[in-house]
Amino acid sequence: MVLVYGGNFGPPEFGGGDGANQWDSCFELLSASSRVIVYDKPGMGWTEAPKRDADYSMAFVVSHLISLLEALDCGPVGLVGHSRGGYIATRATLLRQDLVRSLTVINSGTLSPGVGTNAVALADVAHQGDQRAAIRWSLETYVYSPTSVDTSWVDTNIVLLDAPGHLEAVERIEAGNLLLDRFYPELARDKRETLTWLAEGRLQRPTQIVWGRDDRTAPVGLGRELFEGLAGHEPRTRFDVIDACGHFPYREHPEWFVSCLTSFLEEVARDGG
């Protein structure tokens, strides 16, 4: 299975600075029964930054994932995407169904119809004190229980802020106003098209929607709406919701998440994909 985390390139003020380390809470548990691949997206973590201004778009991040799946050459995968990664995984599936056996989307306001509430919940993150305090505040806002934000999560995110790919992406984005000029408008256009494709029933793969019920940034109603839209077309669609959980079910309830995902993948395997 291939896991796609959330966030995008750019300064932390605009959601930048995450990496594949987000999955460390469930990586080992999942790898007990599957081959698990996590990766850093372009201009994030230890992956290089896009070299052309035109590539500071979600479309580029989607094509990067498709290239990765082609390079892995391991047959159709169980694709799992969280938050922005849920959109990326879904868009990649719509474009290349031959590469995907099943799709799991976790707390993705980016993919859902309607509007996420990041802009409000996380407003002014840059002004919550020093870099460490700002990262901790942001993660604590995302989760249900602040105790689920462990020091190693914060530490790794701070290290990633100095990664060369992240720094180069931030520099290019700030020089060319690439998020406001390019990334957001193109994402809005592509999202519209993606939702149209979903409404047309083009997503013809078993799909699982997983949601933390207490997410302040992507309320559970968005997940329900997404599920109901998909369930009308694809009978092998399920919706798994956990209480006392914010934006990161796989960090706040890792064992529940792993059991949920594993049972879905077993169902898909039993069904013959």
Binding track over 188-217 against another protein, x by CB under 8 A:
xx-xx-------------------------
CB of 56 to another protein, least distance (A): 14
Check residue 133 for interaction with another protein (CB under 8 A): no
Identify the residue among 30, 69, 149, 187 touching another protein (CB under 8 A): 187
81 vs 164: CA distance, rounded Å? 24
Residue among 191 and 213 whose Cβ is closer to another protein: 191
Residue among 131 and 262 whose Cβ is closer to another protein: 131
Quick one: three-class SS letters along 76-97?
CEEEEEECHHHHHHHHHHHHCH
CB of 182 to another protein, least distance (A): 11
Check residue 115 for interaction with another protein (CB under 8 A): yes
CA 21-98-83 angle, 5° bins = 30
Check residue 238 for interaction with another protein (CB under 8 A): no
Check residue 171 for interaction with another protein (CB under 8 A): no
Residue 88: count of CB within 10 angstroms of its CB: 28
Check residue 120 for interaction with another protein (CB under 8 A): yes
Backbone φ and ψ of 80, nearest 5°: -125, 125
> How many chain residues touch another protein (CB under 8 A)?
22
Tokens encoding 205: 């793969």
167 vs 37: CA distance, rounded Å? 24
Beta strand 2-4 with 37-38 is parallel
From the list 37-45, 71-79, 119-127, 225-233, the region that binds another protein by CB under 8 A is: 119-127
Identify the residue among 155, 181, 243, 266 touching another protein (CB under 8 A): 181
Helix (H) / strand (E) element for 38: namely: strand 37-38
125 vs 131: CA distance, rounded Å? 10
**Which positions touch another protein (CB under 8 A)?**
109-110, 115-121, 123-124, 127, 177, 180-181, 184-185, 187-189, 191-192
